[in-house]
Amino acid sequence: MSTAEKPVISMREAVLRYVPDGQELLIGGFAFSDPTALAHELIRQQRKNLFIMKTSGGVLVDQLIGAGCVERVLSCHVWNSVGPVPAHCFRRALEQGKPHPLQIEELSYGAFTMSLLAGACDLPFMPTTPVQGAGHFTQRTFMPEKFGVVKDPFGGGEVCVVPPLKPALGIFHVQRVDKFGNAQMFGPTGEMRYAMAACKKLVVIAEEMVDTALIRERPEATIAPGFMVDAVVIEPWAAHPTDSYGYYYRDLAHNALYGEMSRTEEGFRRYLDEWVFATGNHAGFVAKLGDAQKSALQIRKDSW
């Protein structure tokens, strides 16, 4: 366990310090624990030409694309998870080049996670489910070597493999963290543990900071030990409108609102004006949700 206290910074400072234009950035969350607060701050600071990696793109990536922040995307899919319904900004970028053309590479979830695992383990490749002939195998843009095929050394024929992913920066949402950066997640974690280990730099966004004694009570929940973490942001409700297990439920009504507004470029701009720019920061966004909506979504701590 790390014995050096980590810098605790605001979301604004995290973007200023770690995410310049053109940054390669892996964002955690597979339609849960998506750090939407990070996306909003990237939009407020008008970041450009980002290379976004995210297993489940969702509303977070759709908003970054619509705001013109993204040049390249590596993902398994990008959609609005209520329904599901299309991610309209993503479609406009691919089909019409609005607000500008978008480069995209796709991987299956299995291939993406194996690539991250290879990066975390410092291995030259990892095997994955055979995908030869599938669209994401045959169609390649800025990652010409995202798949390979090797001979099974145990006599089983051809094996599809993926190279290691070692993102320059990863930013992940977790439930809680201590002053030393020991970060804990509860509920589903997906690929998060080895995705964090694959990153060269790591920032965690936590719902709350707790005493190290609480961290030690649940060591199995520590998804990133402090020595891996470069900085910490404390931001309650940072994952809204996705859920944060044990803290709040998914806000399907807000996803539906966003889906309807983002059907047109004008509607999307109204959403940004109302929910991102006018709120000023994530605390302002949460205040705009209102106490009634927060109360309906909030989970009592004594219930888990």
DSSP 170-221: EEEEEEEE-TT--EE--S--TTHHHHHHH-SSEEEEEEEE--HHHHHH-GGG
pLDDT band at residue 31, thresholds of 50, 70 and 90?
confident
User: 254 CB contacts (<8 Å, ≥6 apart)?
Assistant: 240, 241, 289
Helix (H) or strand (E) holding 71: strand 70-77
The least confident of 9-13, 29-33, 83-87 is 83-87
Question: pLDDT by residue (tens digit) across 136-158?
Answer: 899 999 999 999 999 999 998 99
Question: pLDDT by residue (tens digit) across 241-250?
Answer: 999 999 999 9
Contact 198, 123 (CB under 8 A): no
CA 109, 112, 118, 122: dihedral to nearest 10 degrees? -140
Alpha carbon distance 283, 265 (integer Å): 26
Q: Is the pLDDT of residue 1 over 70?
A: no
- Give the β-pairing of 85-86 and 103-106: unpaired
Distances (CA, A) of 2 to 84, 177, 178, 231, 233: 41, 12, 10, 13, 17
Question: pLDDT by residue (tens digit) across 170-223?
Answer: 999 999 999 999 999 999 898 999 999 999 999 999 999 999 999 999 999 999
- Give the β-pairing of 103-106 and 70-77: parallel
Core vs surface per residue 118-146: b (16+ CB within 10 A) or e? bbbeeeebbebeebeeeebbeeeeeeeeb
Residues recorded for the chain: 304
In terms of C-beta density within 10 A (0-12 exposed, 13-18 middle, 19 or more buried), how is residue 255 classed?
buried
Top CATH class of 11-107+166-303 equals alpha beta
**Strand-pair partners of 244:** 248
User: Domain spans of the chain?
Assistant: 11-107+166-303
